[in-house]
Amino acid sequence: MSKTLSIKNKIKKFNKQIQVSGDKSLSIRWVLLASQAIGKSKGYNLLMSEDVLAALDSIKKLGIKVKIHNKYCEILGEGINGFKYKKNLTINAKNSGTLGRLILGLLIKSPKKIRLIGDKSLSKRDFSRITLPLEKFGAKFYYKTKNKLPLSILGSQSAKGIKYLEDKGSAQCKSSVMLAALNSSGTTTIKAKKSRNHSELLFKYLKIPIRVKKTKNYDFIDIKQPKKIMAFDYQIPGDISSSAFFIVLTILANNSKLLIKNVNINPSRIGVITILKKMGAKISLRNQKDYRGERISDILIQSSNNLKGINCPSKLNSSAIDEFLVIFLVAAKAKGISYFKDLAELNQKESPRLNWGSKILNMMGVKTELTKDSIKIYGQPDLKITKSITIKNYLKDHRIFMMSTIAALTFGGQWKIHNKDSINSSFPTFLKIIKIINNK
Ligand code: S3P
């Protein structure tokens, strides 16, 4: 059984420098693309979390050699469609929607049925959003329960490029179709609502024939099947989604300062910074540099006493989708009412996060108005919690656990937060870093 974290004291004033672990989206994409390349690729600062380890296990089951060294991970790719495996193979994506959805894109030619399973949380999430477009390539899917894992995929040898409209702003859907395009003859054309663009940048870097035309709300992407992908080394930068917990910890703490080194600040990921700055947070980017199309920077944060509510423009939703839970904590302390809308996707995550965000704020004594796709948060600049709060029964969602920890450390009260192990999906060193920050 997973352990419970008890917090009784607020975090002390701090002035520290930290580094968070590697970006999860880039780690999983590197693993999957390296498996399709020819020869030895090395990934440095790869996130060693359960989601990424599940990705490594999956490609191993598909016949790809993986070696984990102290400083890097090595993958011996077998080229596009180079997977080799026995009959009745089962792949376990565990808690990872990104792995579950992206890997299906690589399997659209699989000559034998492959079963995909996941944990309790992933088995509640919708897979039709990805099996519908992949069926258009020619793959067949077999569900036990409609649109939910477990499912089986049987590929088609004559997979052909498709035309696809991605209108949820989901990078998982877009990327799964992009990976399927590697295995299909002809051109795949995608019209995609704006979402994180790591796959596009990696395709460009790998010289896969890709064209991206950007318009205000949509990107138009054309991909032609490449002849081959060459092995590539990659240095994974720090994860902005993991950094967000410490950004908010610092904003809400007393008189504190934090420098987070070497974080990926790809413009399609930094909605959290834009939103928090609009709310009056003191955040600045230092020492910016480019790395293979990605942008990397140190982030300097200072505590703030003058936070104000926001009517958050929904065009920022996709670039902050994993950070809303901690953004809600800032709204709880801000002056005035904050309003976040068009956020139905937030209930499609590892747990229904829009509902849970509201529930936790209510437990903290913060008033909210919740609909199925929006939340109003009535901020309390003087919010201080003195009561006991227990957070449990939330499908072991890592981000619910970490959000609750940040709330406990900044608003006070006596907290018991269940499922300590949930952090292993995305950020196993989360509590160690908290300790470093809290020790003089
Ligand atoms: C991810 C995309 C997002 C995000 C997830 C990681 C990715 O999901 O929530 O944590 O790496 O592509 P959606 O594509 O469902 O929005």
Mean pLDDT by 10 residues, the chain (440 residues): 92 98 99 98 98 98 98 98 97 98 98 98 98 98 98 98 98 98 97 98 98 97 98 98 99 98 98 98 98 98 97 98 98 98 98 98 98 98 98 97 98 98 98 94
**pLDDT for the residue 138:** 98
Cα 196 to middle of ligand 1, angstroms: 8
**pLDDT for the residue 112:** 97
Measured distance CA(413)–CA(408) in Å, rounded: 7
**pLDDT for the residue 400:** 98
Ligand 1 atom having least distance to the Cα of 345: 16
Q: pTM of this prediction?
A: 0.98
Torsion over CA of 188, 191, 197 and 201, rounded to 10 degrees?
40
Cα 289 to middle of ligand 1, angstroms: 24
**The pair of three-digit structure tokens given for residue 238, joined into one six-digit string:** 């720090």
Backbone angles phi, psi at 347, to 5 degrees: -85, 0
| Beta-bridge mates of residue 122 | none
Measured distance CA(194)–CA(346) in Å, rounded: 16
Q: How many CB atoms lie within 10 A of CB 117?
A: 16
Q: Which residues of 228-241 are buried (b: 16+ CB within 10 A; e: fewer)?
A: ebebbebbbbbbbb
Any atom of ligand 1 within 6 Å of the Cβ of 98: yes
In whole angstroms, how far apart are CA 419 and each of 124, 153, 364, 395, 399?
18, 32, 19, 9, 11
**pLDDT for the residue 1:** 65
Backbone angles phi, psi at 416, to 5 degrees: -125, 115
Instruction: Tell me if residue 322 is catalytic.
Output: yes
Any atom of ligand 1 within 6 Å of the Cβ of 25: yes
